[in-house]
A = this chain, B = another copy of it.
Amino acid sequence: MSQQRHGSTPGSGSGNVPAFPDLPEATIARLPEYLRALHNLGEGGSDTISSEGLAAAAGVNSAKLRKDLSHLGSYGTRGVGYDVALLIEQIEYVLGLDQRRAVCLVGVGNLGHALAGYDGFASRGFKIVALLDADEAKVGEVIHGLAVRHIDELAQVAVEESIAIGVIATPAGAAQAVADELVAAGVTSILNFAPCVLSVPANVDVRKVDLAIELQILSFHEHRKATLTALPGGRSATGAGNQEAVGS
């Protein structure tokens, strides 16, 4: 959150590895969107794309896009645009997508089941390599080609499969215990679908997705729109912000 420094070398001019850019959180959250848009454009055969065009494809304004990309370094050409292939490569590098990251999923209930088979993970470089559950009745069940193992095997699985990211899809009551076990097993990134706050050490990153919260936020806006249009001085229904994207 503090200073932002782009691609140039850091103080202690070290090797050939580009210094790791210190990107604003908001930028990081948008890079995956740009990447997806670029992949779509790449399939369309374009070699280069203007900030205006890419911004439109990603649903942001062009000034924001240019500033975001400028944090990665200069990969555009003035008067021309950005080289699609080069930019894809660069964003994938920064996001760490050039290395395959193994994911384990804990909790194979209703939601976990769907996540286990979600195409979007595999198609974007993430592979679920282990399914775990506390319920003995589920252990052994094969879901999308992977057998469910018992949660007690977590530590062993984490080592065997070099788990990078743990996904928690258990009920809220079990989530903290699972998080503790993930942390103990050396996992430092957690995606939490359980509706609860997790407490973890400072070096562990947690992201939370709560589907009901999203609906509640929409509900607020419905309520707001209804109230404003019903009010005497109410202006036309053309409200404030729409198209809020998720991401901290």
0 or 1 for each of A205-224: is its CB under 8 Å from B? (1 = yes): 11111111111111111111
B103 and A242 contacting across the interface, CB-CB below 8 Å: no
Known A12-B232, A20-B227, A202-B239: A25·B244 in contact at CB below 8 Å = yes
B218 and A207 contacting across the interface, CB-CB below 8 Å: yes
A101 and B222 contacting across the interface, CB-CB below 8 Å: yes
List of B residues within 8 angstroms of A247 by Cβ? 213-214, 217, 246, 248
List of B residues within 8 angstroms of A145 by Cβ? none
Known A205-B239, A239-B205, A244-B25: A124·B216 in contact at CB below 8 Å = yes
A198 within 8 A of B: yes
A220 and B111 contacting across the interface, CB-CB below 8 Å: no
A94-B220, A96-B224, A205-B241 are known; give 15 further A-B pairs, CB within 8 A: A1-B240, A12-B233, A14-B231, A28-B217, A32-B216, A33-B197, A35-B216, A57-B197, A96-B219, A118-B211, A191-B214, A202-B238, A203-B242, A208-B245, A244-B248
The 14 listed contacts between A and B (C-beta, < 8 Å) are A17-B227, A17-B230, A17-B231, A20-B231, A101-B219, A103-B215, A110-B119, A120-B212, A121-B215, A124-B215, A188-B225, A207-B214, A207-B244, A207-B245
Contacts from A to B (Cβ < 8 Å) = 1-2, 10-12, 14, 17, 20, 23, 25, 28-29, 31-33, 35-37, 57-59, 94-97, 99, 101, 103, 110-111, 113-115, 117-121, 123-124, 126, 164-165, 188-191, 195-198, 200, 202-228, 230-233, 237-248
